Each structure stands twice: as structure tokens, then as C-alpha cells.
Structure 1
Amino acid sequence: MKHLLLLHGAAGAKDQFEPIIPSLSGVYQVHAINFSGHGGENSRASIFSIALFAQDVLHYMAVKQLETVDIFGYSMGGYVALYIARYYPEKIGKIITLASKLHWDEAIAAKEIKMLNAATIQQKVPAFAQQLAARHGSQHWETVLEKVSNMLLELGNANTLQLHDYNHITHPVLLLLGDRDKMVTMDETLAVFKQLPNAQMAVLPGTPHPIEQVNIPVLVFFIQWFLK
């Protein structure tokens, strides 16, 4: 049975995959982890970075004695999967990304950081603040947002993966993008798609960015179809 590792997005956690896992468990040995500092996990470093989260994956694989895994990465999780494929290619089989923001610059980072202001979230979207507190801990969720914001600033200053890096990723990759995604553009996804030597791409209908609003049967279909 193949091992499938699920990687969550920035300020997310593995609990977001609970609606998906039952549909995949009969076909794959499914794994899901929390990145450092997320979901109540201790952080392995004082700052967040794509490299740090990649090390989280490699550490988990070492502990579980997994030589290779296929990966489904949502949003930032997809970025981490591609980073591992670039620098630790022997650890990865196939990769599926969904709603992964792959182009960053200073303007984009500044825009995204505005939506991660803890005080604004508490004032304008208290239900979301409660959700974040439940996910990361009432004493830690604001710190998670602050560290994610700092990571995005760094990505804006110097994108961890440049377009030429994708030329070196020869793994089978499926890039999924929702047609209602307001964070990830078609142009940036196509730009990476054209650089990847062994990639496919699909657009999910009626699908915005949040994974909670994804049509689960449609997503599961694409995962199973690509990994078979």
C-alpha cells in the first residue's frame, strides 16, 4: 500500500484533512502532520520557513521509517512538497498540490499579511479567531500568525523557489487550482506548470481557496486518479 502524506497550509493544521482521510484510507496508508508551531506542536526553530517545514517532513519520515512518500499539499503544503522534491528528490514519489501560492513578491506578501493581523481578526471575524485558538491553542494562535507573517515577508523579499528551480523537479506533479481562488492566480500556476518537466494541471470548478470549501469527492477523485 502506498504511503500518502498530507501537508496543510500556513496557519493551518492536520485536522483540516479529517473530512478527506476516510475516503483515502482504504487505498493508501495516509499520514498527516502538523508543521512546527502549528496545531499545538512545538516549533523546531524560532522562525518559520519553507526549509523548516521540509525538515519537519523529513524528520517524520525518518521516525516512521518511510523511504519515500507521495504528497498531497494544500496551499503552503504544496510549496513545501515541491521544495522537498527540488532538494531531497529521493524522498518523493508523486506530488499533488492544491491552491499553492508559488509566486511571491513584496506587494503580494504585504497584501496577504494584512489578512493575518490577529487584532483585526478578533474584531471583524471573531468566529475565525476562535477557530484559530482551538486549532493552535488560545495562548499561541497569535504567535503563529505573527511567525507566518514574517515568513511571508521573507518569501516576498526572496522567493524560496525560483522558476528555474522547477526545471529540476522531474517527479510527476499535478497542480490543482480552484476557479474561484482569489489568492492564487492562473498565471502563476501556469508559469510553474510550464517549467516542470513532468506535470499536469487541472482546474476545480466552483472552488475558492479555503480547503473547507473544496468539493471533497472531486478532490478525492483527482488524488486517486493521479496516484494510481
Structure 2
Amino acid sequence: MTATEWTAESAGSGQYAEVNGINLYYETHGAGRPMILLHGGLGSGEMFEPILPTLADHHQVVAVDLQGHGRTADIDRPLDIRLMADDIAALIDHLGLQKPDVVGYSLGGGVALQVAIKYPEKVGRLVTASANISRDAIYPEILQQQVQVSGAAAEFMKDTPMYELYQRVAPRPEDFPKLLDKIGEALAKDFDFTEEVRGLQMPTLVVAADADMAPPSHYAEVFKLLDGGLRDGGWQGESRPKGGHALAILPGLTHYDIFLSPLFAAVTLAFLDQES
């Protein structure tokens, strides 16, 4: 699978959970300590197909399709990572999971972060990949592209992996322009979660590509909010960030292929499987 192939050939093998006013689709793979896995915008849990076997060798992976994405139909509310975090918290309760790790990429990384901020008692460890904590960190040319996202662009996206995936699995394939409208509205809103990140208590891994949507310095700043990058770690790691936080900038990757990378799977597992 390449960055232009977002989908698996297999049919959906998951279940639906009626939680928080939404019929949320999820698939469960593997066994072990549970991990909630959250995909990027315009994608679905299937985006992780290349690395899912590796993750599921070590953990019970619950891959969720977020509001309006994949096999989860949209509902009458904005696409807001804070609201989607409420869905995930309700799913954790619905499944009876005890402090699962939460791993998210891009949009899913933002949702994962909000689950940790709003429901810290429900999260074991947090991995947030290619997710920015302030809008002004994003490169200006990307912001210019984002403000152009709307339903009017649907016709021009028919050859993209995002469109193909949506047409194949969405409960209402004709809703793709509506999804683009909602994503465009969400992308246009300013945000800054600096103070909320500073208060995170669970061990958190900040991951990004070395050529991501924001410069590597942004992710280093996020790490700094978590007591990282302030001093030498010591011979025994005794002076590493308090709270067990970590940073990984992955080489040779971009925002658009990091979720496929064995490197992403490797650093995620190395972090999640550390002794607490």
C-alpha cells in the first residue's frame, strides 16, 4: 500500500456502538493491552492497514471510524475534535476498557489529544502523531489550501484515495460534499491548546514526520510543554521529562505517508510497551 492507496480489499469486519448520539463503527484486532487507534481526516481505520498487523501482534487494537468518516455516518453537529473526543470516551465506557492507550494521527491525533485533556482518567498512554496544537504553527501555504476545502471541490477529488474510500464504505456515499463542507469549516477555525497540553499527566509521545504540515520545531515546542528538551537526560535517564513523555521526529516521511510507515508502528510500540 502506498500513500495513494488508503484502502484494504477486505470488507468491513467490525461492529457499531450507539454512543453519545452517534452510531460509531469500530474494528477490533489482536489481543493484549487495549489501544484505541484514530485515523486522519477524510480517511478511516483502514488507513492503518499496512501497520495494523504489527500493532495487533502486541495489543488489542480498536480502530474507530470517526464522525462522518468511513463506515460511521455523519450526524447533525459540527466536525469538532472536542465533540469527537466525547464519542471516544463513550466508546471506551461502552467497551468496558480500563485506561486503554489512545493513538491518533492528524485529525485522529487531535481527537486523541482531546480525549486525554477532557478524560484523563480514561487514558493510559497517549500517542499523538502529526497533530498540531495551534493553527498558526501550520505552514501558510497549507492554511491557504485548507480554506479552499468545501463541497465544491468534491468533483475534483474523484481520483483521490479519500474519495474512493468514502464511495466504497460510507453508509451514504452521496454525502462526500457535505463532509468536505464540514471539514472546511473546521479547518477555518482558530485553535490553540497550549495550556491544555501543559497539564497532561499521562505519558505522552509526540510524533511527527521530518517534513510534516508544521516545522519540526513545533513538535519540539509541544514536547517542551511536557518538560521535554530542557536538560540532559542523565546516564540512567533519571533526568528525562517528568511524567514519561517522549518525542519522535521520523526521518524521510511527510504528513501524507507517516501513518503507513513501519517507523511509526515501531516508535509507537516502543513507547507503549515501556515499563511504567
| TM-score tier after normalising by the smaller chain length | 0.7 to 0.9
Q: TM-score normalized by structure 1?
A: 0.86
Question: Separation in 2 of the partners of 1:143 and 1:180?
Answer: 30
Question: Separation in 2 of the partners of 1:85 and 1:70?
Answer: 10
Select 1:204's aligned residue among 229, 232, 250.
250
Q: CA deviation at 1:101?
A: 2.3
Shift in alpha-carbon separation, 1:31–1:179, aligned structure 2, 3 A: same
Aligned residues: 220
Question: Separation in 2 of the partners of 1:210 and 1:9?
Answer: 10
Question: Separation in 2 of the partners of 1:92 and 1:61?
Answer: 9
Question: Separation in 2 of the partners of 1:49 and 1:33?
Answer: 16
Equivalent residue for 2:168? 134
Q: Secondary structure at the match of 1:93?
A: coil
Bigger fraction of residues in helix? 1
Equivalent residue for 2:147? 113
Q: CA deviation at 1:121?
A: 5.5
Residues 79-106 of structure 1 show CA distances to partners (whole Å, capped at 9, x for unaligned) of 1111121121101111112211222149
CA root-mean-square deviation: 2.2
Percent identical residues: 28
Shift in alpha-carbon separation, 1:43–1:131, aligned structure 2, 3 A: closer
Contact kept? 2:102, 2:123, Cα under 8 Å: yes
Equivalent residue for 2:40? 9
Q: How does 1:45-60 map to 2 (within 5 A)?
A: 45-60=76-91
Question: Separation in 2 of the partners of 1:68 and 1:58?
Answer: 10
Unmatched runs of 5 consecutive residues or more in structure 2: 1-31, 228-242
Select 1:191's aligned residue among 201, 221, 229.
221
Q: CA deviation at 1:206?
A: 0.9
Q: How does 1:173-192 map to 2 (within 5 A)?
A: 173-181=204-212, 183-192=213-222
Contact kept? 1:13, 1:34, Cα under 8 Å: yes
Question: Separation in 2 of the partners of 1:187 and 1:37?
Answer: 32
Q: Secondary structure at the match of 2:177?
A: helix
Q: CA deviation at 1:192?
A: 1.4
Instruction: Return the letter of the residue paired with 2:217.
Output: D
Larger C-alpha radius of gyration, 1 or 2? 2
